[in-house]
């Protein structure tokens, strides 16, 4: 799988990845996942994964880290179509500064230890400890916040209190990195990171064997009962064994599915006709990565000038970009997020319209260093499209079409080495606040998340109002004001939400509910 969570370098670049949820009480039943019953009668699922960096959920940095954390470590809540549902918690009540979770009674660790409020507190205390340096702490609890966790075993409740309002905390606790690590894992952190801490698991699967960079095999815990209380019907059964194979080439992955060596595999949009309804095969298409243009606005740079930024927005055609990147399986975005994100305005009147003639009057002769990750379309085709669109407007464009590691190192670590990038954003929480974190506050070199050194007072003020808003209506209003402030000054240009596409052999299914990018639900249906 090719996507890497770019928001985690540095830690503070992830602070705005949040979703809207405040001041409500939610209750979910503890009935089993529809796929949990008779799971032992199902066999195995063979699928693809990229190389994980760590098996410690708190240390998750790249997408495979999150996906594998889902197998072994349960979170308090989970995302479903239409909102959150119970995970380890059956119900919760929250305000902008606190949340109280009531735990289910049937959850146990892999070594038989009951998952009590004290166990949950121990895991969360380690998660928020600065020594842990968990990348998602600012995302879950708010940037720079003070967090206190208390446990009441008699009442089966865990209460989390914040020093400052952060209405997005409950949704933050649905992210895989907050998965509860049992006491056995906390006692041996080195083994936890290696996936070898026996008894550390709170979730359904245990890593049985692995070949680093090659394959990873997980086995279902036969006694496991704590399946999420999904509202959405999940067809099929959970597999007794999950086998992950590292297969970074989508074409090779497709061949493995066709030959029967894989059951579920990540493919590019160009390969969809090869599988959709062919020989009993199918495809699963989910909204996934948000692509948008982000400018380096530091003094002396070509895009410190708003007129130059506006000309770039006029030169690119979002519909053409969508066709190049995702073969029309993606959706052009208006506010840097997928259309189902709360608070999103699907209108387009506030966007800069395409005007190639006007762009040419400004861009002619401009020297532009474009840096883009190769995940933007097949082999970075989206980067190449932007280069050619700007060249057609008369600009002198040098393109660095690079792997994710090089892209991160350049955009996050070399502020003087680039002018424009196509940002590949993973919005795990499904939040309008998420992209804003890359345009506000201190720069990356100053310890913040502001990649392009943007200075937009309207955006800064509205974002601050949104993060501390006490109601959903106020938060939406503030975030929309901030996003439109970005667009009006062309600090960024929303482009497209690129899909995540699985090729499926007959008898297998894959779902991502509620925009849960880190939570693919794989099932045996045949």
Number of other CB atoms surrounding residue 262 within 10 Å: 25
Cβ-Cβ contacts under 8 Å for 158 (sequence gap 6 or more): 76, 89, 100, 101, 103, 117, 120, 121, 124, 149, 150, 151, 152
Of residues 518, 513, 515, 434, the one with CA closest to residue 228: 513
Give pLDDT, residue 223: 95
| Residue 209 and residue 217 in contact, taking contact as beta carbons nearer than 8 Å | yes
| Polymer length in residues for the chain | 526
Evaluate whether 199 touches 180 at the Cβ level (below 8 Å): no
User: What pLDDT does residue 165 have?
Assistant: 83
Q: By C-alpha distance, which of 66, 110, 137, 89 is closest to 221?
A: 110
Q: For residue 320, what are the CA distances in angstroms to 44, 53, 183, 386?
A: 40, 35, 52, 10
pLDDT, position 32: 54
CB 330 within 8 A of CB 499: yes
The 8-class DSSP code of residue 59 comes to G
The C-alpha atoms of residue 495 and residue 319 are separated, in whole angstroms, by 9
Contact 141, 172 (CB under 8 A): yes
pLDDT of residue 429: 78
Assess contact for 170 and 99: CB atoms under 8 A. yes
Burial group, residue 279, by CB count within 10 angstroms (0-12, 13-18, 19+): exposed
Other Cβ atoms less than 10 A from the Cβ of 357: the count is: 8
Residues of the chain short of pLDDT 50, as ranges, are 1-31, 37-40
Q: What percentage of the chain reaches a pLDDT higher than 70?
A: 92
pLDDT of the residue at 33? 64
Contact 35, 234 (CB under 8 A): yes
Q: What is the spatial distance between Cα 401 and Cα 418, in angstroms, rounded to a whole number?
A: 12
What pLDDT score was predicted for residue 36? 58
pLDDT digits (tens, 9 = 90+) for 404-458: 889 988 998 999 999 999 999 888 878 888 899 889 988 888 877 899 999 999 9
Looking at residue 267, what is its pLDDT? 92
Alpha helices in 306-456 (DSSP H): 306-315, 318-326, 356-363, 381-392, 404-413, 433-436
Residue linked to tokens 């997408």: 63
Q: Return d(Cα 302, Cα 53) in angstroms, integer.
A: 36
85-140 residue pLDDT tens: 999 999 999 988 999 999 999 999 999 999 999 999 999 999 999 999 998 888 89
Report d(CA 501, CA 254) in Å as an integer.
Answer: 11
Q: What is the helix (H) or strand (E) element at residue 368, kind and residue range?
A: strand 367-373
DSSP E strands, 153-281: 157-162, 205-211, 215-220, 241-246, 264-267
């Amino acid at each position: 799988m090719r996507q890497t969570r770019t928001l985690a370098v540095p830690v503070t670049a992830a602070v705005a990845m949040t979703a809207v949820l405040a001041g409500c009480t939610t209750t979910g039943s503890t009935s089993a996942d529809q796929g949990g019953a008779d799971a032992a009668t199902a066999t195995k699922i063979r699928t693809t994964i990229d190389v994980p960096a760590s098996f410690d959920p708190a240390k998750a940095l790249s997408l495979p880290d999150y996906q594998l954390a889902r197998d072994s470590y349960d979170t308090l809540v989970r995302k479903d179509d239409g909102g959150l549902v119970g995970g380890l918690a059956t119900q919760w009540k929250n305000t902008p500064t606190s949340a109280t979770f009531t735990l289910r009674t049937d959850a146990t660790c892999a070594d038989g230890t009951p998952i009590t409020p004290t166990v949950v507190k121990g895991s969360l205390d380690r998660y928020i400890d600065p020594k842990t340096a968990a990348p998602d702490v600012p995302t879950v609890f708010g940037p720079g916040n003070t967090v206190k966790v208390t446990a009441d075993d008699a009442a089966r409740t865990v209460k989390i209190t914040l020093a400052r309002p952060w209405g997005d905390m409950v949704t933050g606790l649905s992210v895989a990195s907050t998965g509860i690590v049992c006491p056995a894992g906390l006692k041996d952190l080195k083994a936890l990171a290696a996936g070898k801490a026996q008894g550390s698991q709170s979730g359904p699967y245990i890593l049985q064997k692995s070949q680093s960079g090659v394959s990873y095999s997980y086995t279902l815990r036969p006694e496991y009962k704590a399946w999420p209380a999904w509202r959405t019907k999940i067809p099929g059964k959970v597999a007794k064994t999950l086998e992950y194979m590292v297969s970074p080439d989508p074409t090779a992955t497709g061949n493995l599915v066709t030959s029967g060596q894989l059951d579920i595999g990540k493919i590019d949009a160009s390969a969809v006709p090869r599988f959709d309804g062919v020989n009993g095969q199918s495809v699963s298409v989910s909204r996934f990565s948000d692509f948008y243009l982000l400018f380096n606005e530091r003094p002396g740079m070509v895009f410190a000038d708003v007129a130059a930024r506006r000309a770039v927005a006029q030169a690119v055609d979002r519909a053409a970009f969508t066709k190049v990147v995702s073969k029309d399986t993606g959706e052009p975005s208006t506010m840097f997020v997928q259309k189902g994100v709360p608070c999103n305005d699907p209108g387009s009147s506030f966007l800069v319209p395409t005007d190639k003639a006007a762009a040419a009057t400004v861009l002619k002769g401009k020297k532009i260093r474009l840096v883009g990750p190769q995940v933007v379309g097949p082999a970075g085709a989206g980067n190449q499209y932007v280069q050619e669109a700007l060249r057609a407007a008369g600009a002198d464009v040098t393109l660095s079409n690079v792997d994710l590691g090089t892209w991160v190192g350049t955009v996050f670590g070399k502020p003087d080495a680039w002018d424009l990038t196509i940002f590949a954003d993973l919005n795990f929480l499904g939040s309008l606040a998420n992209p804003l974190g890359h345009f506000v506050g201190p720069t990356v070199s100053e310890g913040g998340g502001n990649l392009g050194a943007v200075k937009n007072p309207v955006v800064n003020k509205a974002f601050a109002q949104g993060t501390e808003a006490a109601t959903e209506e106020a938060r939406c209003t503030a975030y929309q004001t901030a996003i439109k402030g970005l667009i009006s000054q062309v600090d960024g240009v929303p482009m497209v939400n690129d899909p995540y596409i699985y090729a499926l052999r007959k008898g297998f299914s894959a779902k991502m509910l509620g925009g849960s990018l880190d939570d693919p639900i794989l099932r045996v249906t045949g």
